[in-house]
């Protein structure tokens, strides 16, 4: 690490960007945002220019985190979730996000649902957790469902006890926003990677493509990491399969179907999708995971390039 | 150790290992370290082949790790 | 999805994204699995002290990944060998003369000198090709061929491997088979085993080319022990049959009292061996087994590799090999890797540093130091560094030494171990470049 510059201090976790040169002759800026390690690669020779660009991306990431994180109080999400049935008027950006979520809800037949956060109250995916009883799930299910919300832009009404969570699309949205910001101010080729969801501004001059490695899950077979050459567009990966519940030898994955309140059966271990924007890639990932056994079939119909890995026994 | 003993010992080691292997291991998402280039069992196959060739020419043992690509009339 | 059919979903998603981001995506996505060629090249120098063998080789291994984890590998090695190698005769206080393997000339060794034959100026070419692919979700299958050629030796081989994953891919069982056929066409013809070395021009005890067949079988078990540790255990069995003798090696026939090589009656005007030497002869069959275990462990950026191999065969040779590497990161893009290898073997049942006169000539005998009892040590270090574009370079320098351990009862008369066993000191230097 060559240079570490303090950008801002927001209390809980120090927000700073660490810049270091890459072996390709460019720069890599690292910071932490939205619960993930983030990095921005910039293909330029000047360290100070690279730092400014990374700072731009980081600032946008932290802005979105502050505005939409459910862990921080006082933001629009906290206001909506504590409105107790009262209407809330939202700003233009939030309106666009809610509109997107609404479209996705109908597009996916109800599988994609930003009000499914309440299920977290009964499903805890730490190791050693128990499968909740059926009536507990049924009880909390009455607090889940976008169809119970009234969305008349720019006013949102959700029943008391329900809550929204934009964590499912927040990171991908931030990647696309950061890429747009960078593209507005600079001609340099940049790659924005927030915890595995990434997009590029343009194709790099030197190597003709960004090389992204998807960690191979082929066990100990010594087969090399899958390398993707990305010239334009975005990649998103879903499947943080760290979390599951084991009950009577059956593993319940952590992808919950909001229509039933139960985990999706047969969800793949991980899905990676390439698409024009990170939001599109991330959405296709999530929808594929929600298809469980039918993930590959879904992706073959609706996505371009994709890679699915399944756990084997 | 003579040959019969070696054969028996090997069979036992492999059987015990395989039996003890069930349940041993890590979950798929914990394979990050194992996926590293320098954690491969033979990180440098060309070097391994070159060494195998040298030791095959200078000693009476060969292989064990796998087997080489070919013999030679080495002196 | 039951609600939307065809790519209506992706079109709707694209439109929805446009609305969300306020702009259309700047470019359509372009993502491809990289299926380039990977090259692994190395230049190796191996050099023994005292004017003995020197070897320089160029090696290239090319690997091409195809989609769905299929791969093709091609390898080429070019090897140039010079220098002299011990011919199996013992060192004595007098000068010695030997007939060259070709039978066309002779060479002299100074008194007290280790008898070395410098006939071997040779270039060897070797090719390998292999194909590997998955077979279903849990299995891998591979086939390959190998071939090599030098002026007196050719090799052709075929190999195949199969592996299967178990236990959530934590355990892998593998089996491999290799068969090879080698042909030896010694310079001057194959000498009759345990027949005397004759005068220059006398090829009466020679015959034509010979061959041998080798079958190798390996069974392996690889197991993930923990997030940082990997273990492999292999059992191998190998059987070689045919001509296994070294046609260029002899044994000295010595006086049973003094241990000095018996002189040979030399006809004037005829050039020939100065002393009594017999060509060596080995059995026509050799069956080997070995058990190998390896542990690779990651600790805080460093990687430790320790392996052990036990080998035993029906020539009565037993060997132990302990090999360890420690890869130590230096900065973010390079590493240092010290290496230590210890090897010990016992002698073959028919190994004999020299043959005392007066006893019946045994069925098999060889004084080749490689079948003797010795310990060997390799110590070295490697330095590697990553460059732009994922290229990697490395250099390594190692010392290899063998020290004989001749059993006292194999020494005849006044012989000392130093007379009858040619200790070896060699340096290994390698430069490699992967791109």
pLDDT at A11: 45
Q: A64-73, A115-124, A282-291, B44-53: which range is least confident on average?
A: A115-124
pLDDT at A313: 41
- Banded pLDDT at A141 (limits 50, 70, 90): confident
Work out the mean pLDDT of chain C and round it to a whole number.
91
| Cβ separation C46–B54 shorter than 8 A | yes
- Reported as type and span, the H/E element at residue A184 is helix A167-185
| Cβ separation B35–A222 shorter than 8 A | no
pLDDT at B68: 45
- Residues with Cβ within 8 Å of residue C214, at least 6 apart in sequence: B71, C157, C178, C179, C180, C181, C182, C238, C239, C240, C241
Among A225, A269, A311, beta carbon nearest to B35:
A225
pLDDT < 70 stretches in chain C: 1-7, 24-26, 34-35, 67, 389
Q: What are phi and psi of A166, to 5 degrees?
A: -95, 15
- Look at the alpha carbons of C268, C273, C278, C281 in this order and tell me if their dihedral is positive or negative: negative
| Cβ separation C27–A224 shorter than 8 A | no
pLDDT at A247: 57
Please tell me the distance from the alpha carbon of residue A12 to that of residue C115, in angstroms, as a whole number.
78
A11 touches chain C (CB under 8 A): no
* Mean pLDDT within A111-135: 76
Task: Find the closest chain B residue to C221 by CA distance.
Answer: B14
Burial of C395 (0-12, 13-18, 19+ CB in 10 A): middle
Please tell me the distance from the alpha carbon of residue A277 to that of residue C29, in angstroms, as a whole number.
8
pLDDT digits (tens, 9 = 90+) for B4-36: 777 777 777 767 766 666 667 887 667 778 877
- Look at the alpha carbons of A277, A279, A283, A286 in this order and tell me if their dihedral is positive or negative: positive
Please tell me the distance from the alpha carbon of residue A284 to that of residue C7, in angstroms, as a whole number.
12
Q: Between the CA of residue A263 and those of A204, A236, A297, A299, what are the distances in Å?
A: 41, 21, 19, 20
* Strand pairing category for C153-166 and A262-263: unpaired
* Mean pLDDT within A226-240: 83
Task: Find the closest chain C residue to A21 by CA distance.
Answer: C332
pLDDT at A4: 38
pLDDT digits (tens, 9 = 90+) for C231-247: 999 999 999 999 999 99
- Residues with Cβ within 8 Å of residue A214, at least 6 apart in sequence: A225, A226, A227, A228, A237, A272, A307
Residues of C in contact with B56 (CB under 8 A): none
- Banded pLDDT at A8 (limits 50, 70, 90): very low
Buried b (16+ CB within 10 A) or exposed e, B53-74: bbbbbbbbbbbbbbbbbbbbbb
* CA-only gyration radius of chain A, Å: 20
* Mean pLDDT within A285-304: 88
pLDDT at B69: 42
Q: Which of residues 53-92 of A touch C (CB under 8 A)?
A: none
C261 touches C275 (CB < 8 A) = yes
pLDDT at C37: 83
* Strand pairing category for C106-109 and C334-345: unpaired
Please tell me the distance from the alpha carbon of residue C310 to that of residue C291, in angstroms, as a whole number.
5
pLDDT at B66: 62
pLDDT digits (tens, 9 = 90+) for B41-52: 888 989 999 999
Q: Please determine, for residue A229, whether its predicted confidence score (pLDDT) is greater than 90.
A: no
Q: Closest by alpha carbon to C380, among C419, C308, C428?
A: C428
**What interface predicted TM-score (ipTM) does this complex get?**
0.88
Work out the mean pLDDT of chain A and round it to a whole number.
82
pLDDT digits (tens, 9 = 90+) for A159-191: 988 889 888 889 999 999 999 999 999 999 999
Interface test with B, best of C48, C130, C131, C226 (most B CBs within 10 A): C226
Q: Closest by alpha carbon to B60, among C380, A245, C426, C318?
A: C318
pLDDT at A258: 85
* Strand pairing category for C70-82 and C122-135: antiparallel
- Banded pLDDT at A3 (limits 50, 70, 90): very low
Tokens 């190999």, residue located: C159
- Banded pLDDT at B2 (limits 50, 70, 90): low
pLDDT at A219: 41
């Amino acid at each position: 690490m060559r240079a570490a510059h303090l950008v801002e201090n927001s209390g809980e976790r120090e927000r700073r960007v660490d810049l270091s040169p890459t072996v390709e002759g460019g720069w890599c800026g690292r910071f932490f945002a939205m619960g993930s390690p983030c990095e921005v690669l910039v293909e330029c020779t000047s360290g100070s220019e690279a730092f400014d660009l990374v700072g731009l991306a980081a600032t946008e990431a932290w802005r979105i985190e502050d505005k939409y994180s459910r862990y921080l109080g006082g933001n629009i999400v906290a206001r909506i979730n504590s409105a107790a049935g009262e209407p809330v008027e939202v700003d233009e950006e939030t309106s666009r996000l809610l509109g997107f979520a609404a479209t996705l809800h109908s597009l996916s037949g109800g599988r994609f649902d930003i009000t499914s956060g309440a299920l977290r109250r009964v499903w805890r995916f730490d190791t050693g957790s128990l499968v909740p009883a059926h009536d507990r799930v049924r009880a909390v299910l009455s607090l889940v469902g976008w169809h119970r919300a009234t969305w008349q832009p720019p006013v949102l009404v959700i029943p008391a006890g329900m809550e929204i969570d934009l964590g499912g699309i927040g990171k991908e949205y931030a990647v696309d926003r950061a890429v747009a910001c960078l593209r507005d101010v600079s001609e340099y080729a940049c790659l924005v990677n927030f915890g595995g969801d990434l997009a590029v501004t343009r194709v790099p001059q030197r190597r003709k493509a960004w090389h992204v490695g998807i960690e191979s899950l082929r066990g100990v077979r010594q087969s090399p990491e899958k390398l993707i050459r990305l010239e334009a567009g975005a990649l998103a990966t879903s499947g943080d399969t760290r979390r599951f519940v084991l009950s009577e030898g059956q593993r319940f994955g952590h992808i919950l179907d909001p229509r039933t309140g139960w985990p999706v059966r047969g969800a793949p271990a991980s899905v990676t999708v390439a698409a024009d924007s990170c939001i599109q890639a991330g959405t296709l990932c999530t929808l594929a995971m929600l298809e469980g056994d039918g993930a590959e079939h879904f992706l073959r119909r609706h996505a371009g390039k994709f890679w699915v890995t399944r756990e084997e026994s | 150790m003579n040959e019969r003993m070696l054969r028996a010992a090997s069979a036992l080691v492999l059987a015990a290992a395989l039996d003890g292997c069930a349940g041993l291991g890590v979950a798929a998402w914990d394979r990050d370290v194992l996926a590293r280039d320098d954690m491969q069992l033979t990180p440098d196959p060309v070097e391994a082949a070159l060494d195998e060739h040298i030791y095959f020419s200078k000693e009476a043992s060969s292989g064990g790790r796998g087997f080489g690509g070919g013999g030679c009339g080495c002196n | 999805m039951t609600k939307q059919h065809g790519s209506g979903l992706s079109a709707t998603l694209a439109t929805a994204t446009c609305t969300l981001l306020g702009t259309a995506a700047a470019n359509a996505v372009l993502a491809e699995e990289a299926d380039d060629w990977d090259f692994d090249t190395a230049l190796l120098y191996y050099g023994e002290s005292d004017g003995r063998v020197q070897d320089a080789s160029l090696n290239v291994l090319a690997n091409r990944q195809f989609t769905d984890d299929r791969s093709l590998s091609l390898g080429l090695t070019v090897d140039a060998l010079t220098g002299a190698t011990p011919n199996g005769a013992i060192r004595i206080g007098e000068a010695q003369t030997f007939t060259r393997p070709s039978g066309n000339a002779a060479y002299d060794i100074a008194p007290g000198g280790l008898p070395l034959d410098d006939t071997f100026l040779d270039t060897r070419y070797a090719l390998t090709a292999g194909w590997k692919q998955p077979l279903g979700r849990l299995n891998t299958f591979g086939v390959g061929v190998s071939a090599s050629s030098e002026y007196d030796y050719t090799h052709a081989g075929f190999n195949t491997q199969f592996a299967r994953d178990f236990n959530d891919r934590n355990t892998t069982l593998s089996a491999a088979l290799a068969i090879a056929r080698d042909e030896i066409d010694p310079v001057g013809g194959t000498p009759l085993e345990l027949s005397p070395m004759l005068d220059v021009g006398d090829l009466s005890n020679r015959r034509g080319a010979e061959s041998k067949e080798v079958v190798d079988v390996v069974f392996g078990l690889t197991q993930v022990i923990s997030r940082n540790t990997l273990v492999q255990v292999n059992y191998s069995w190998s059987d070689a049959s045919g001509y296994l003798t070294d046609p260029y090696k002899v044994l000295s026939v010595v006086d049973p009292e003094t241990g000095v090589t018996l002189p040979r009656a030399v006809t004037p005007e005829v050039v020939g061996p100065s002393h009594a030497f017999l060509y060596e002869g080995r059995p026509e069959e050799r069956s080997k087994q070995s058990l190998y275990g390896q542990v690779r462990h990651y600790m805080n950026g460093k990687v430790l590799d320790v392996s052990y191999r036990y080998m035993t065969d029906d020539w009565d040779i037993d060997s132990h090999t302990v090999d360890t590497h420690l890869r130590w990161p230096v900065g973010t893009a390079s590493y240092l890797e010290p290496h230590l290898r210890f090897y010990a073997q016992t002698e073959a049942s028919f190994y004999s540093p020299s043959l005392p006169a007066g006893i019946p000539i045994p069925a098999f005998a060889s004084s080749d130091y490689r079948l003797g009892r010795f310990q060997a040590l390799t110590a070295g270090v490697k330095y590697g560094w990553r460059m732009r574009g994922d290229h990697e370079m490395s250099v390594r320098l190692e010392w290899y030494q063998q020290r004989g351990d001749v059993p006292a009862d194999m020494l005849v008369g006044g012989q000392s171990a130093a007379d009858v066993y040619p200790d070896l000191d060699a340096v290994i230097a390698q430069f490699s470049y992967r791109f």
